[in-house]
Each structure stands twice: as C-alpha cells, then as structure tokens.
Amino acid sequence: MEPLSWMLGTWLSDPPGDGTFPTMKPFQYLEEVHISHVGQPMLNFSFNAFHPDTRKPMHRECGFIRLKPDTNKVAFISAQNTGLVEVEEGEVNGQELSIASHSIARISFAKKPHVEQITRKFRLNSDGKLEQTVSMATTTQPMTQHLHITYKKVMP
C-alpha cells in the first residue's frame, strides 16, 4: 500500500469546500476524512460532510481503496448515504490519484436527475494538504466540476 500511504490519516477541511453544479445553488461544506490501513491490501475510508454554519450532517460516504498488486492501478469502492454505490478505477502517480467511474448503482427511489459518471482527483499539494476535486455527469448535465475541497491533516 506504499504508493497510497500519503493519503493515510485524519483530515479536516481547511478552508470549507465549495460545491457547484448547474442544477443547484452553490454551497460550502466542512468535511472530516478518515483514511486508515488495517493490514489488508486496501485502505478504509469515510467522508463525513457538515453544514459550515449549523454543523448539521450532510453527505456521508465510506468504502475502500484497493491497489492492484505490483501496479499503480487503483479501485475506489464507495457507498453513499444518498443511495449511490460506485466503483471508480484509475491510477496513482506519485502523490496524485485520478479515478473515474467504472460502475454506478443506486436505490430504486433515488432522486432525479441520476448520476451517470463521476471522476475524482486526490493530490497532496506542496503545503502537505490533501485536495479532492469531484466532477460528475447526470442524466440532464454533461461532465462538470461539482466539488473542490482542501484538507489539513490533524492525525497521522
């Protein structure tokens, strides 16, 4: 798991993240991220977003990041509280992970428009902060940046 070790730790948004999409009002959010390793050939993660003013829970996501042995190929498996389950695949190069949706499933009563594609990029910037950018396409909108957030590590 060495190629992904730069992601390990507990991270807090610093400053709040920005969310935009053509079908919604721009918003900000706080997020706490836990990325850990328990000795298996994968990382465990949880993303917990909160409203910046009320601290009311917003988006939740948890899953695993698997590295294909002896390669830089990565799978990101995620379940979200919105009823979306996704598998994204891509590559880790240095301290950057780029992934794109491979398959997406959703609960039968998921809110429309439905997400059809997702891409994510994680990178450790020169200040030692973790950045995440998420873009998505829905049944009504082409691929568009949706989220951007920067995290500061608070625990190794």
What average pLDDT does range 111-129 have in this prediction?
Answer: 96
Please state which of the ranges 18-22, 38-42, 106-110 shows the lowest mean pLDDT: 38-42
Asked whether the predicted pLDDT for residue 130 surpasses 90, the reply is yes
Of 87 and 111, more confident: 87
CA 140 – CA 128 distance, rounded (Å): 37
Q: What is the dihedral of CA 84, 42, 150, 110, to 10 degrees?
A: 0
The pLDDT score that the predictor gives to residue 41 is 87
Asked whether the predicted pLDDT for residue 21 surpasses 90, the reply is yes
97: tokens are: 């992970």
Read off the amino acid at residue 38: V
This prediction's pTM: 0.95
Contact 101, 86 (CB under 8 A): yes
Read off the amino acid at residue 135: S
27: tokens are: 């918003």
The pLDDT score that the predictor gives to residue 1 is 87
* CATH code where residue 11 lies: 2.40.128.20
The H-or-E segment that residue 79 falls in is strand 73-80
What average pLDDT does range 106-112 have in this prediction?
Answer: 95
Range of the domain at 70: 1-153
pLDDT category, 152, cuts 50, 70, 90? very high
The pLDDT score that the predictor gives to residue 13 is 98
What angle (nearest 5°) sits at the alpha carbon of residue 92, between those of residues 20 and 104? 50
How many domains, in total, are found in the chain? Answer: 1
> CA 124, 156, 12, 100 torsion: positive or negative?
positive
The pLDDT score that the predictor gives to residue 156 is 87
Give the residue among 79, 147, 141, 78 at the shortest CA–CA distance from 115: 141
Give the residue among 17, 10, 37 at the shortest CA–CA distance from 154: 10
